[in-house]
């Protein structure tokens, strides 16, 4: 039998078996890049690392990382969370000899999320740090645990609204909103593919009105429909009126949903100018950009994500 050299065996730390970055990331439910960032920026990493060898985390290291993760998820700034985690402070406030987190001055990077639960604060913190991988993880976990409608209404939308209010009040933070929106769309896209929805006999069309760039709510509608086994066609932002008309003529859809986000941004003539098809589609309009007027041809205004999905379901005969 061939003898294994002593140099081929990596000794384990005294406090238990060691794990790789990937293994620890799976155990904690965070991205490997997040662990590397915590190590590089805040020093919360493996307690020992030999040059040329892969990083290995001991059980004590993992315990510190778990404290770090729980604190960040509860809304504590990463730098503060790292200080507490290194000192062994518990999120419930035990070991009171460790100083409390330093109060933040008004403004800055803090979002107004009074009474928000841990997932919301964690998503806001990740978005503010432009940690898109952590945003992906939190959003994906929220979809798995709550489903699309509840995850959108109670976790994603509150952070997007807070970012919008911050931009409206300060003119700052648009880059954060864009990064979070991209993460949400990417996760919803993966969710839709994983659900493997089937296209109905007559299409469901989701589109923004001309000039409207905010298509993310339509991705939430598509995700909630996919969860119910129905595929929708998302035509995206700023769809020209003539392009919409060609799609309607070609597909003869069962449902057309038009989104307008910016107040005063919608011209109702786009509804009146829709091509006539038989049978006539259900036309829904969503978003705050529509004027409060009576629409022709039985157009309905949806107020929530659930309302949109329910109306589309009725139109499809659920």
Same domain, 219 and 170: no
Nearest Cα neighbor of 218 from 256, 173, 183 is: 256
Answer yes or no: do 203 and 144 share one domain.
Answer: no
Verify that 292 and 232 share a domain, yes or no.
yes
Position 277 in a domain: yes
Say how far apart CA 222 and CA 35 lie, in whole Å: 33
- pTM of the complete model beyond 0.75: no
Residue 264 banded pLDDT, cuts 50, 70, 90: low
User: Considering the domain boundaries, does residue 100 fall inside one?
Assistant: no
Question: Counting Cβ atoms within 10 Å, is residue 103 exposed (0-12), middle (13-18) or buried (19+)?
Answer: exposed
pLDDT of 305 > 90? The answer is yes
User: Is 108 among the domain residues?
Assistant: no
Q: What is the pLDDT of residues 22-75, one digit of tens each?
A: 878 777 766 677 788 788 888 888 876 555 556 688 888 888 888 887 776 555
What's the confidence (pLDDT) of residue 272? 85
Q: Do residues 165 and 243 share a domain?
A: no
Do 170 and 217 lie in a common domain? Answer: no
The answer to whether residues 216 and 268 belong to one domain is: yes
The answer to whether residue 137 scores a pLDDT higher than 70 is yes
3-state helix, strand, coil in the chain (%, to 5): 50, 10, 45
Residue 292 has pLDDT above 90, yes or no: no
For the chain, the average pLDDT equals 80
Residue 267: its pLDDT value, please?
74
Residue 175 lies in a domain: yes
Q: Are residues 191 and 217 in the same domain?
A: no
At 185-244, the pLDDT tens digits run 999 999 999 999 998 989 999 999 998 888 999 999 999 999 999 999 999 899 999 999
Pair 262, 304 in one domain: yes
Residue 180: CATH number of its domain: 1.10.1240.10
Listed residue (215, 219, 304, 294) closest to 261, CA to CA: 215
Q: Residue 215 belongs to a domain with what CATH number?
A: 3.40.50.280
- The 10s digit of each residue's pLDDT in 100-129 is 333 333 344 567 777 778 889 999 999 999
Query: In this structure, is residue 305 part of a structural domain?
Result: yes
Identify the domain containing residue 242 by its residue range: 198-315
Same domain, 83 and 137: no
């Amino acid at each position: 039998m061939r003898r294994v050299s002593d140099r081929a065996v990596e000794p384990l730390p005294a406090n238990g078996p060691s794990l790789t970055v990937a293994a620890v990331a799976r155990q904690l439910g965070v991205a490997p890049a997040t662990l590397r960032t915590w190590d590089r920026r805040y020093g919360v990493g493996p307690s020992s690392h030999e040059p040329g060898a892969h990083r290995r985390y001991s059980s004590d290291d993992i315990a510190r990382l778990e404290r770090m993760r729980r604190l960040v998820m509860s809304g504590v700034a990463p730098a503060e969370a790292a200080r507490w985690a290194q000192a062994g402070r518990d999120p419930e406030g035990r070991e009171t000899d460790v100083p409390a987190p330093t109060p933040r001055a008004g403004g800055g990077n803090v979002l107004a999320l009074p009474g928000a639960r841990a997932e919301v604060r964690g998503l806001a913190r990740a978005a503010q740090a432009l940690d898109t991988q952590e945003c992906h993880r939190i959003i994906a976990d929220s979809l798995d645990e709550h489903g699309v409608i509840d995850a959108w209404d109670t976790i994603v939308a509150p952070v997007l609204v807070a970012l919008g209010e911050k931009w409206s009040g300060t003119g700052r933070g648009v880059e954060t909103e864009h990064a979070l929106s991209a993460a949400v769309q990417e996760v919803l896209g993966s969710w839709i593919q994983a659900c493997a929805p089937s296209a109905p006999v007559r299409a469901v069309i989701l589109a923004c009105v001309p000039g409207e760039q905010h298509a993310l709510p339509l991705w939430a509608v598509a995700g909630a429909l996919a969860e119910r086994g129905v595929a929708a066609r998302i035509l995206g932002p700023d769809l020209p009126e003539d392009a919409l008309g060609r799609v309607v003529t070609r597909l003869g859809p069962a449902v057309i949903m038009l989104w307008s986000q910016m107040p005063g941004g919608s011209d109702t003539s786009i509804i009146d100018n829709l091509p006539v098809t038989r049978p006539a589609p259900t036309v829904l309009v969503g978003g705050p950009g529509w004027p409060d007027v009576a629409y022709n041809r039985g157009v309905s205004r949806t107020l929530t994500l659930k309302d949109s999905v329910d109306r589309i379901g009725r139109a499809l005969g659920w």
